[in-house]
Amino acid sequence: MRSLIRKHRLWKTTIAQAALLALALVFCAPFIWMLSTSLKTPDHIQSDSTDPIPKAWFLDYHGQRVRVRPLRRRRGRLEAQIRSGPYRGRTLLVRPGRIHNGVYLDWRNYKKGFEEFPFLRYLWNTLVICGLSVLGTVLSCSLVAYGLACVEWSGREALFWVMLCTMMIPGQVTMIPLFILFKNLGWINTILPLVVPTFLGNAFFIFLLRQFYRTIPPSLLEAARIDGGGDLRIWARIILPLSKPALLIVALFTFINSWNDFLNPLIYLLNDRKYTLSIGLTMFQGQYNSDWGPMMAMSLIMSLPIIILFFLTQKTFIQGVKLTGVKG
Amino acid sequence: MKHFRPTSPFHRWPVGVAFCLPLIAGLAMFTAFPVGMSLYYSLCSYPIFSPPRLIGLRNYQELAGDPRFWLSVWNTFYYAMVAVPLGMVVGLLLALLLNLKIKGLAFYRTLFFLPTVVPLVASCVLWNQILNPQQGLINEFLRFLGLPAAWLPGWLTSVTWSKPALILMSLWGCGGGMVLYLAALQDVPQELYEAAALDGARAWHRLRHVALPMISPVLLFTLIMGLIGAVQIFAQAFIMTNGGPADSTLFYSLKLFNTAFTEYRLGYASAMAWVMFVLILLATLGVMKLSNRFVYYHS
């Protein structure tokens, strides 16, 4: 009986493993496609867009292996142009059998991308906005959460509930009046509309931090108060160090949100010197829609920092998703 | 003589208010004020370069007779109604598979979650090519399966297939829900399964009558958050299709954005925003009310 159950379990896990492996492949395919397309020559993208391994055509010519580009067939022979080495540019007529396929990584997509796309400037613009947003959000949210969780005063519950209710309001409702407000302040085409609001708290993260601060024993705060510590001191010396894991979650999610933000930079940043990576990549796609290699290269370059950040902070990240219920 | 206790609520309110000042200022400036102004603008004719002029409910009347508005409502409804439940089902399926105590759980969890951290703009650019009817990954795969060329979907170039294409793309990001479902499944006490098994419940019944009720609060939460998110879908349509072909991906937010920032009809756009707000509220309340019958809260 027991061995029967074990056999049944073995079957079950084997099927589950097979299903997971297949699903993993499906989920991976877009990443593999992005990487391999970014390294393919335009010819290879045209001729074999699903080949995961970037390849090119090669030919032995005067004892050297040179890359060629097949142009057309002529009387059973292939006209091909040499694309590398000292004979670059020369056109030959060869037997089709002489040309063979080989692995070839074409880094020119990246070179072209970086030339056409002012990556470093957009990166800098994005990092400035991300950095200030993280600073503003962490600072303001932890101060407010302290005021809501660790200071007893009448009205804090009411304020908390008002804050929760405002989370229901979709951004589209406030979008237009805020645009007018920032226009009247002369803030259009500056980073201020993207950054200043982060210094005035974020309902979602205040909620998260308040839950965390309520788990800090009141006796600890009481003792600090009796020792003569002011509230600001208690916040800085006790609460901040204690809540490091929660603050890390807030910082991480804020960083990723503002790195990925699309709508706000689209509304407020009008000049291509001010663009973030999101907006820059959108404009790049508008201009080079048919040039797949550089597009994939730039998408990859934009995603890579976030993917690396995710791998470095995976534990915190997954913890944050479980706590807040939404991804970054 | 009257004693002030140091922890008396009345004594400490200036401190509390001082700490909450950023929130109070933020709520006033970036929520209360714009919400009020938005309601006012929605009753105005407001071409951006001249001041708003009150016209009563005319914007709302015009909305009621605007076929492109209704089309955008339909497109958004279609997308939300298919993408959200389908994403939940796939996410739940992944979580159930991972909950079978198989090897490499952390690896698979990371892998399925990874697409959700890819910047939206980057995944739009990527999927624009994956969905390309001639050389895209999906149609190449369908061709490999032997589908005749005439049957291959045109995806983003076809009126019929453009919304399913975006839904397919949204499924790639179902790992966020999976992480939550998996965490909830792991919290279900083992004794419940054992008790059910002793009562002769088979795997399907254990899922239907033990696991699903136990994680139903999480399902409800992801349903509501997913609906709110899906109703506001914007970047995909803006970047990949710009609403086309033939307005088949003209979603509500895209129509609102175009009305505000390309047609400069701020009053009309504000009216759209308010209709959206009311629709989201109604949908949320509706789901909550329905959920009373299905959601089981154990505390």
Q: pLDDT tens digits, residue range A146-174? A: 999 988 888 899 999 999 999 889 999 99
Nearest Cα of chain B lies from the Cα of A27 at a distance, in angstroms, of 7
* Bond before A54 cis per omega within 30 degrees: no
CATH hierarchy code of domain B64-291: 1.10.3720.10
**Chain B residues with beta carbon closer than 8 angstroms to that of A194:** none
Tell me which residue in B16, B22, B94 faces A201 most closely, judged by beta carbons. Answer: B22
Residue A16 in any domain: the answer is: no
Percentage helix, strand, coil for chain B under 3-state DSSP, each rounded to 5: 70, 0, 25
Please check whether residue B260 is in contact with residue B254, taking contact to mean a CB–CB distance below 8 angstroms: no
Tokens of A327: 């991804």
Using CA coordinates, name the residue in chain A closest to B100: A13
Residues A92 and A231 occupy one common structural domain: no
- The neighbour count for residue B297, using CB atoms within 10 Å, is 7
State how far the alpha carbon of A102 is from the alpha carbons of A54, A58, A99, A105, B33, in Å. Answer: 9, 7, 10, 10, 64
Residue A145 lies in a domain: yes
Tokens of residue A147, six digits:
């005021």
Q: CA B219, A318, A266: angle at the middle one, nearest 5?
A: 85
Please give the average pLDDT of every successive group of 10 residues along chain B, which has 299 residues.
49 87 95 96 92 93 95 96 96 93 88 94 93 90 89 92 96 93 90 86 85 91 92 94 92 96 94 95 91 77
Q: What's the confidence (pLDDT) of residue A252?
A: 94
Q: Is A199 on the interface with B (CB under 8 A)?
A: yes
Tell me, yes or no, whether A77 and A168 share the same domain: no
A126 in the same domain as A95: no
Name the burial class of residue A188, with classes exposed (0-12), middle (13-18) and buried (19+) by CB atoms within 10 angstroms of its CB. Answer: middle
CA distance A15 to B164: 29
- Which chain A residues contact residue B273 at CB under 8 A? 170, 172-173, 175-176
For B47, list phi and psi in degrees, rounded to 5. Answer: -75, 130
Q: Which of residues 79-118 of B touch A (CB under 8 A)?
A: 94, 97-98, 100-104, 108-118
Residue A273 within any structural domain of the chain: yes
Q: What is the largest CA-CA distance in chain B?
A: 94
| Nearest by Cα to A147 from B5, B15, B24 | B15
How many folded domains does chain A comprise? Answer: 2
pLDDT at B8: 54
Kind and range of the H or E element at B263?
Answer: none
- Let me know whether A87 and A130 are in one domain: no
How far apart CA B84 and CA B224 sit, in angstroms, is 9
B20–chain A nearest CA distance, Å? 4
Q: What is the pLDDT of residue A174?
A: 95
Q: What is the pLDDT of residue B9?
A: 54
Q: Is A22 part of a structural domain of the chain?
A: no
Q: Do A266 and A205 belong to one domain?
A: yes
Q: Worst-scoring range by mean pLDDT, A70-74, A235-239, A244-248, B129-133?
A: A70-74
Residue in B24, B102, B225 closest to A326 by CB:
B225
> Which tens digit of pLDDT belongs to each residue from A21-48?
999 999 999 999 999 999 988 878 877 7
Mean pLDDT, range A77-95, rounded to an integer: 83
Among B236, B73, B252, smallest CA distance to B155 is for B236
Q: At what angle do helices A244-260 and A203-213 cross, to 10 degrees?
A: 170
Same domain, A178 and A66: no
A13 CB within 8 Å of a chain B CB: yes
Do β-strands A77-82 and A64-74 pair in parallel, antiparallel, or remain unpaired? antiparallel
pLDDT at B294: 81
Reply yes or no on whether the pLDDT at A248 is more than 90: yes
For residue B214, give the H/E element and its range: helix B212-231
Question: Is residue A255 in a domain?
Answer: yes
**Per-residue exposure over A271-295, b if at least 16 CB sit within 10 Å of its own CB, e if not:** eeebbbbbbbbbebbeebeebbbbb
- Residue A39, domain member (yes or no): no
| Rounded-to-integer distance, Cα B20 and Cα A32, Å | 48
Which positions in chain B touch A277 (Cβ < 8 Å)? Answer: 119, 121
Burial of residue B289, with CB atoms counted within 10 A of its CB: 0-12 exposed, 13-18 middle, 19 or more buried: exposed
Tell me the CB-side half-sphere exposure of residue A214, using CA atoms within 13 A.
Answer: 9
A306 touches chain B (CB under 8 A): yes
> Do A270 and A123 meet the contact criterion of CB atoms below 8 Å apart?
no
Q: For strand A64-74 and strand A55-61, is the pairing parallel, antiparallel, or unpaired? A: antiparallel
- Which residue from B108, B176, B257 is facing A24, i.e. has the nearest CB? B108
Q: How high is the pLDDT of residue B88?
A: 96
**If we measure between CA atoms, which residue out of A170, A155, A257 comes closest to residue A205?**
A257
> How high is the pLDDT of residue B7?
52
Contact residues on chain B for A292, CB-CB shorter than 8 A: 129
The average confidence (pLDDT) of chain A is: 88
DSSP H helical ranges for A261-313: 263-268, 277-287, 292-312
Query: Does residue B148 belong to the interface with chain A, where contact is any CB pair within 8 Å?
Result: no
Does A77 lie in the same domain as A151?
Answer: no
DSSP secondary structure of B117-155: GS-HHHHHHHHHHHT-TTT-HHHHHHHHTT--GGGS--G
Structure tokens at A159: 């304020």
Torsion angle in degrees (nearest 10) through CA of A282, A38, A117, A276: 50
Number of residues in chain B: 299
Q: Count CB neighbours of B59 within 10 A.
A: 24
Say how far apart CA A36 and CA A30 lie, in whole Å: 10
| A175-203 average pLDDT score | 95
* Rounded Cα–Cα distance for residues A230 and A222 (Å): 11
What is the number of CB-based contacts under 8 A between chain A and chain B?
262
Whether residues A208 and A128 share a domain: the answer is yes
* Statement to judge: residues A134 and A275 lie in one domain: yes
Look at the block and give the residue holding tokens 């045109």: B154
H-state helical runs in A89-118? 108-116
| A182 closest CA partner among A193, A171, A195, A191 | A193
Contact check, Cβ <8 Å, B126/A171: no
Confidence of residue A328 (pLDDT cuts 50, 70, 90): very low
In a domain? residue A139:
yes
Domain ranges of chain B: 64-291
- CATH number at A196 reads 1.10.3720.10
Cβ-Cβ contacts under 8 Å, A201 against chain B: 22-23, 26
| pLDDT reported for residue B274 | 96
Q: Report how far residue A37's alpha carbon sits from residue A44's, in angstroms, rounded to the nearest whole number.
A: 9
Measured in degrees and rounded to the nearest 5, phi and psi for residue B247 equal: 60, 15
Q: Are residues A170 and A245 in the same domain?
A: yes
A135 and A89 in a common domain? no
- Per-residue tokens: A167: 């989370």
Q: How far apart, in whole angstroms, are the C-alpha atoms of residue B191 and residue B171?
A: 34
For chain B positions 214-233, those within 8 Å of chain A (CB to CB) are 218, 221-222, 225, 228, 231-232
Query: Are residues A130 and A59 both part of a single domain?
Result: no
Give the residue numbers spanning the domain of A254: 117-287
Q: Which residues of A218-253 are buried (b: 16+ CB within 10 A; e: fewer)?
A: eeebeebeeeebebeebbeebbeeebeebbbbbbbb
